[in-house]
Structure 1
Amino acid sequence: MPVSERQLAEFADKHAWQIPFDTSPRHLAGPGDARHVTHDLAAVGWTRTSDPLSAELVLRSPDGRHSLQLDPQSATSAWWRLRAEPTDTEAGWYAEFGELVPAEILAGVTDALLCPPRAEPPDPWRTLSSAGWKLDQQNGAHSPDGMCHIELRPLGDRDTPSWHIETREHGHGHPVGPRIWHAWFDHHTPSHLVSAFVTTLTDTAPLQRGMFERTAHYSAVKEPSPLSPQQVVDAHTARLDALRTQARAARRRQRPATIQPLAPPSKAAAPPVRR
């Protein structure tokens, strides 16, 4: 399901009239445009398997193993659900994300899923420390403003810990206030996906949001962006082209080497006919 010219035009039409503002920190920037995620997946062959007339969107990978669900009518706080079915050699896994998770951060995860890194992914704790997040002694870290918390903790009675990320309002007489958004990765989620989430989350580069978008947190810093609306659209298109190239290269690396068939034996020269 490649991204069509009509779909790209609709993306451009939406952003053409929006004056982009650099918004930071990232965890307070609001969800942005979901097409940062859905266009990426469609560009590399994921297809929609849900009812086209439904508010729910389900995209599935070409091999059928991975799926991404976006359900704005979800009865829970998880609008996004990313799943992998188990195989003979790999366990299945599950991750979920709340409504206000910035799409660019979720796209960091799906990009890493589409194009696995060749090298060992960076350690999330080292990434957090380098970004100025405060590490505690209980497998957790806080953002500099204290509103986003990352923790590696057991879920229920399980011994294997899973990753929990929450952004919350500042508390008023309590340790924490109401939750803004959350993300959760179960203990089978590949480490490079968690690392990609942490790396994209802690990146200090601002995210672009429209001047009048109301989904950014009131305490987020918004400044006029040096980018024009057209440059925002061009960056999106260039990103899709780059992702297609990277995904093709990743598939070539993962493809098993084909065995060349043996050449047929050459026919021996026929003996001369005796007269």
Structure 2
Amino acid sequence: MPLSERQLDVFADKHAGQMPFDTSPRHLAGPGDARHVTHGLAAAGWATVSDPLSAEIVMASPDHRYRLQFDPQSATSAWWRLRAAPGGNDHGWYAEFGELVPAEVLAGLTDALIARSSPQSDPWQPVTSAGWQHDDAGTALSPDSLCRIEHRPMSEFHERPSWHIEVRTSSDESFPGPRIWHAYLDEHVPDHLVGAFLGALADLRPLQRGMFDRTAHHRAVQDPSPMRPQQVVDAHTARVKTIRAQARAGRRQQTAPATAPAPTTAVQPAARR
């Protein structure tokens, strides 16, 4: 079922009634509204294939290759799971994300997925540009040292290493404290998707949260946002409409008939005199 105007109105009713607060850093901002992810996918033509009366949401891409599961009743620490089936010469892959991952950060990855573009970029570039500590061992620490990114080998049997992101309650390396949330992306997740996730994570712009929204840690900084509630709603609506227009343009391009080659006129040989 495509994203309806009624669903957008429900989102607007919630957010238009609460004053936004600029919340940073992003890794401590809390989960936010899951519809930042699900509305974007629905606008791109993904279908909900789960029981509509269940708390679990399962969405599938139009080509059925990709599948997203959101399970707020999961018995594990992973509430979000994203899978890609093998296709053509591409490997299948798997990624998972914990309960308190900010929805806007995860949407950075899913937006890049549905855009179907794969620029060759260094996944570390947005992290280092944001001032995170990056070393040659394949790790990076956020400025507050609460978020750690690791790019490490799975085993000697895998050619490409996997990505592990953890946010902890303490910056003490000897006792980092309990884990707040995590993300895991296996060795076959495309680099541009990893880069999109890390870029959204390290983005210095604050996320908007309501006064009583759950944050991930007491060190999250909240200040009254210069944005009005309606501007938050308008930004979400504009993003969804852009994704919808891009998806429609992509479908038209795929179904457009091939242009017939221009007819050629045979050159007749000159008559002999």
TM-based fold match above 0.5: yes
- Preserved CA contact (<8 Å) 1:168 1:180: yes
- Deviation of the 1:127 alpha carbon: 2.1
**Structure 2 residue aligned with 1:152:** 151
**Structure 1 residue aligned with 2:117:** 117
**Distance across 2 between alignment mates of 1:144 and 1:172:** 13
Give ranges in structure 2 of 5+ residues lacking alignment: 264-273
1:124-149 superposed Cα distances (whole Å, 9 cap, x missing partner) = 22222111000123110000000000
Alpha carbon RMSD of aligned pairs, Å? 2.3
1:162-214 superposed Cα distances (whole Å, 9 cap, x missing partner) = 01111111156834111000001111111110010011111100000001213
**Distance across 1 between alignment mates of 2:261 and 2:119:** 35
Q: How does 1:206-245 map to 2 (within 5 A)?
A: 206-245=206-245
Change (3 A) 1:260 1:242: closer
- Deviation of the 1:263 alpha carbon: 9.3
**Structure 2 residue aligned with 1:267:** none
- Preserved CA contact (<8 Å) 1:22 1:223: yes
Q: How does 1:48-87 map to 2 (within 5 A)?
A: 48-87=48-87
| Residue aligned with 1:170, SS | coil
- Deviation of the 1:258 alpha carbon: 4.9
Letter matched to residue 180 of structure 1: I
**Distance across 2 between alignment mates of 1:141 and 1:52:** 40
Q: How does 1:175-194 map to 2 (within 5 A)?
A: 175-194=175-194
- Preserved CA contact (<8 Å) 1:20 1:208: yes
- Deviation of the 1:53 alpha carbon: 1.2
1:98-129 superposed Cα distances (whole Å, 9 cap, x missing partner) = 000000000000000010336423x1222221
- Deviation of the 1:252 alpha carbon: 6.0
- Deviation of the 1:157 alpha carbon: 5.3
Residue 138 (1) aligns with residue 133 (2): no
Residue 94 (1) aligns with residue 94 (2): yes
**Structure 1 residue aligned with 2:126:** 127
1:27-69 superposed Cα distances (whole Å, 9 cap, x missing partner) = 0000000000001111111111111111111000111111100
TM-score, normalising length: structure 2? 0.89
TM-score, normalising length: structure 1? 0.89
- Preserved CA contact (<8 Å) 2:151 2:161: yes
**Distance across 1 between alignment mates of 2:30 and 2:16:** 19
- Preserved CA contact (<8 Å) 1:115 1:250: no
**Distance across 2 between alignment mates of 1:238 and 1:36:** 12
**Distance across 2 between alignment mates of 1:118 and 1:59:** 22
**Distance across 1 between alignment mates of 2:18 and 2:44:** 28
**Distance across 2 between alignment mates of 1:16 and 1:119:** 36
Letter matched to residue 101 of structure 2: V
- Deviation of the 1:5 alpha carbon: 1.9
Change (3 A) 1:120 1:175: same
**Structure 2 residue aligned with 1:272:** none
